[in-house]
A and B are shown apart, each in its own frame.
Chain A
Amino acid sequence: MATSEYLTANVYSFQGVIFNVLNDPFPGRSRPANVNVVHIPGGNVNYFQLGGKGPKQLVYQVYLDAELGFTYYVQLEDLLGTQGTLVAPDGASLTAILMSFERGDWLRDRVDQGSREMTARATFSIVETS
């Protein structure tokens, strides 16, 4: 891939498709918790019903640039809803499902260089089996 002022060393890959994570070595992490709070009217009584945790999720601001950027974009889009191997810049890998992949708010045609730059938001759910 061509270099860019936005490119960091955060080059990830999912099922072999590489993408950059925009200036964010610590991706957004989230984990939905099923906690129902039942308030009893007329008193200061609350029931916290603990229904367990949802899947761990990683949210990346993806940056794709250079002549192959759009190609990678389409390839990632094709991987939506599939389980695969997510590889971090340090080589660590984990099993994840690409839950969503949406175009970001920024896209630039670099006609002079024959390339496109674009951002996207990718959400992975980590698959844990133990």
Chain B
Amino acid sequence: MTDIVQVPYLQVLRNGTPIPDVYSVSTSHGYSQAIAEAHVRVPHIDAIVPWDVIEIRVGLGADADEAEANAATRFKGLYVQTTRDLYPTALDLVCKGYLVKGQIYRLSSHAGLDLTGSAGDHHGETDQGYIYVLFKLCGLTPDVAIDTSGDIVVAASGDYPALDLKGTGILMGGNQPTDQGYGAHGAFLMRYGETSFDWIQRIDAISLGYRTFDSIDGKIARYLISAIPSGAPDFEFIEGVDIERATLSDTFLDAKDYVAVAGYADGVSESDSAHVHHQHYEARGFNPYFYYGESGTFGVVPVALSITSPMLERSVASDPGQGITCQQVAEWLLAENNVRRLSVPLITPRGDAIKPGDTIRIHSPYMLGLTSHLFWVQDVALQLDETGRFQQTLTGIGVA
């Protein structure tokens, strides 16, 4: 018999000052949802204003001192909204991760904004460089020029959050001819009314697995998350030890064995100059769960995924110029999608600061049929209610 006593510690700070008498908190982070959200229930609060910085610190321990010593930031973001219950009187302070700023501000220039020219040369930027430029536009980082060729790490300062932006490091946007759409660099133009977040979603969609999201410590992260987790796990969960509830879903129904990627149209056809030619690439794989005809002809019944992005400037690596190729994207998406997908929502009373993008190992040979299986943490939801009930709900994503 193993009995574990947990005493919770909760501190909610507004602009660095503790909020008294907090009833409960809940947070959710995920690389799919990108923008984190938190709810803080309080009986009352004085003079809170939009964009106040809210930090939620939670710790668990065998006693109050240990719980406080274990406390760590589990959400840091911005207060944006209140909902108020008449009775029993309570305010729900709705807070969002810093990325929400990218979702609010829209470009007001009808001419659009050419993002390839941020360095004055129109030679383009790396994918993480574009993200950095977009953050400057919506006030998420100071308007200073930095080297964007590699990983971008910026410490938090003043109203600005910390950034940890990784990426492919591939220059993009310098190839496109001058007569496409909105001007010099059509696909790399931010259009009128478009938000930074819209643009981030577009570039993340072709960035070979790099995803931008709010992390639990208030940092905006951009990390590589592939379909197949690997490496040393950050945390391990074992049946009968720390898994309160879990449901494993194992399906091939969403698998794709054929990926067709179309890039930008350069106005020149290989066979007929009158027709527009798209950069393109098709990747095929074999899926043991699909039917390929009686003769076993490869690819008779492809289950296709098709995407088009004018941000892709080349078909294959041997094409001249720069940019992510259609081939890279097709092969990445095929590896992502030609799989038997495992998904595990898992509830644990453990208090570890688990965050999206972590790798976890689940060992549940009898109940879930998983033997030391690795999963990405797709999202994490934390709850600490007014009775001291604490739980974290994770969604693990992996492949069979």
Interchain CB contact under 8 A, A47 and B349: yes
Q: How far is the CB of B75 from chain A (nearest CB, A)?
A: 20
State whether A49 touches B240 (Cβ < 8 A).
no
Other-chain residue from B242, B366, B391 in contact with A45 (beta carbon distance below 8 A): B242
A49 and B349 CA atoms in complex are apart in Å by 9
Instruction: Report the minimal beta-carbon distance from B43 to chain A, rounded to whole angstroms.
Output: 15
B366 to A47, Cβ gap below 8 A? Answer: no
Of the listed stretches B2-10, B102-110, B263-271, chain A binds B2-10
B4:A42 contact, CB within 8 angstroms: no
Q: Give the residues in chain A near B244, CB-CB below 8 Å.
A: 38-41
The answer, yes or no, to whether B389 is at the interface (CB within 8 Å) is yes
The residue in A41, A46, A51 that gathers the most chain B C-beta atoms within 10 A of its C-beta is: A51
A42 with B367: in contact, given A51-B388, A51-B389 (CB under 8 Å)?
Answer: yes
Contact check, B2 vs A52: say whether CB atoms are below 8 A apart: no
State the majority secondary structure of interface residues on B: loop
A40 is contacted by which of B242, B386, B388 (Cβ under 8 Å)? Answer: B242
Q: Mark B1-38, 1 if CB is under 8 A from A, else 0.
A: 11111111000000000000000000000000000000
Kindly provide the distance from the CB of A21 to the nearest chain B CB, expressed in whole angstroms: 30
B240 touches A43 (CB 8 A): yes
Least Cβ distance of A78 to chain B in Å? Answer: 20
Of the residues B4, B240, B241, contact of A48 by C-beta under 8 Å: B4
**Contact B387–A34 (Cβ < 8 Å):** yes
Check B5–A50 contact: CB distance below 8 A.
Answer: yes
Hey, which chain A residues are within 8 Å of B242, CB to CB? 40, 45
Determine whether the beta carbon of B387 is less than 8 Å from that of A36.
Answer: yes
Interface string of A44-63 (1 = CB under 8 A from B): 11111111100000000000
Once bound together, how far apart are the Cα atoms of A15 and B6, in whole Å? 41
Interface residues of B in 304-335 (CB under 8 A from A): none
Say yes or no: is B243 at the interface (Cβ < 8 Å to chain A). yes
Q: Which residues of A contact B239 (CB under 8 A)?
A: 41-43
A41 to B386, CA, bound (A): 25
Contact B388 A48 (CB under 8 A): no
Q: Judge whether B389 and A45 touch: CB under 8 Å.
A: no
Docked CA distance A52–B367 (Å): 34
On chain B, the residues within 8 Å of A48 by CB distance are 3-6
For residue B390, CB closer than 8 A to chain A, the reply is yes
Contact A36 B388 (CB under 8 A): yes
Say yes or no: A38 contacts B388, CB within 8 Å. no
B209-249 to A contact mask, C-beta < 8 Å, 1/0:
00000000000000000000000000000011111110000
Tell me the A residues contacting B by CB distance below 8 Å. Answer: 34-36, 38-52
Can you list 7 A-B pairs, Cβ within 8 angstroms, ordered by A? A34-B387, A38-B349, A41-B245, A43-B2, A43-B240, A48-B3, A49-B389
Point out residues on B near A: beta carbons under 8 Å.
1-8, 239-245, 349, 366-367, 386-391
Sample of 4 further A-B pairs with CB below 8 A, known A35-B388, A43-B2, A50-B8: A40-B241, A40-B244, A41-B244, A49-B8
The 3 closest A-B pairs by CB, nearest first: A51-B388, A43-B240, A42-B240
